[in-house]
Amino acid sequence: MGHDTANTIVSVNQSDGATTVGTTKHSKVTPEEILSGGNSIVFLETSERIQLPSLVLCAIESAAQVYPHRSVVLFMKGLNHTNAEDQENVLSHYPTLLSLDNIYIFPLIMEDIFNNTPLFNWYEKINSTLEKYWIHVSSDGCRLALIWKYGGIYMDTDIISIWPIPHMDFLAGESHQYSSNGVFGFPPQHNFTWTCMENFVKNYNGNSWGNQGPHLFTRVLKTVCDLPRFNNTEDIMCGNISFLNPQRFYPINYPSWGKFYEVWTKLPTFNESYALHLWNFMNHNRKAMLPGSNTLVEHLYQQHCPSTYATLQRNESIYT
């Protein structure tokens, strides 16, 4: 990708030391330039869709607000890479994100992402048309390769951010002695992400849901330390990795995912949480946030992605 480096601005926020790579209007930038700061928030869309659901837009908007001094980057497989250098043009299709200047959207090119990692040969050999869970498996691989190369925080696109995560080397506990891979953070070239990529290839089983995802993270984490059970809401140190309490991201666990779409007599405070995972994979009936429904998810949209909420409330299009 070509780029105009004259329009790239690098700044350091004095309060938290976060390095931000910003751009002027009409500037053309590459993912490498934006991710090079080592502290971006990374999202992936490994399906071909370009009309993103409101939950994905809410996840991105909430992250951009919680991390104003970090770049928030979405990689989309369905994006036409020939026009993707012009960020203003790409973002113009997502009006709810336009007011936030730290969001970038790039095409997801797996050959580039997997290059120079243990996943490249696996990707070259695999027949994706025969894979049962290819959208998920390819996402599992891409998130590892990106965070290994550039560092930062990866988040699933059904995670609504509430507070900044005050950790750099961390994994999210989904339950006792079981790690999620839906949100995690490491500096570049961390041994954990490299080991996970090696284990991904060595123990690959595309027919087993989660084998390359949370099962993989849990397998590798257990080689770092004897993973104890969580005590109340305390986190655990496993070697140099913070293994965060399920309350940080999963105060509502996956069997109870429907509670997000229910009306609560008393709204939870989520005081122990940094972000909330809404378990979209479980949402087979495609429940959505409806303005005026008074459901928990409506209150989360109002509070954490107000632009997306207001657009839906006015019954305007979230994709143009």
Domain of 34, CATH number, reads: 3.90.550
Q: How many domains does the chain have?
A: 1
Residues listed for the chain: 320
pTM confidence score: 0.91
Mean pLDDT of 135-162: 98
Give the model's confidence band at 286: pLDDT under 50 very low, under 70 low, under 90 confident, else very high: confident
Residue-level pLDDT at 283: 81
Residue-level pLDDT at 86: 82
Signed CA dihedral, 300, 302, 303, 307: sign only: positive
Q: Which strand (E) or helix (H) includes residue 20?
A: strand 19-23
Look at residue 266 and tell me if it is in a domain.
Answer: yes
Look at residue 81 and tell me if it is in a domain.
Answer: yes
The region of weakest confidence among 11-25, 185-199, 281-295 is 11-25
Look at residue 318 and tell me if it is in a domain.
Answer: no
φ/ψ (deg, to 5) at 156:
-65, 160
CA distances from 290 to 244, 301, 308 (A): 32, 10, 12
Look at residue 243 and tell me if it is in a domain.
Answer: yes
Residue 65 neighbours by CB under 8 Å, 6+ apart: 100, 161, 304, 305
Look at residue 229 and tell me if it is in a domain.
Answer: yes
Q: Tell me the average pLDDT of the chain.
A: 91
Give the model's confidence band at 53: pLDDT under 50 very low, under 70 low, under 90 confident, else very high: very high
Domain assignment of residue 209, given as a range: 5-313
**At residue 198, does pLDDT exceed 80?**
yes
User: Residue 162 in contact with residue 304, Cβ under 8 Å?
Assistant: yes
Look at residue 319 and tell me if it is in a domain.
Answer: no
Look at residue 227 and tell me if it is in a domain.
Answer: yes
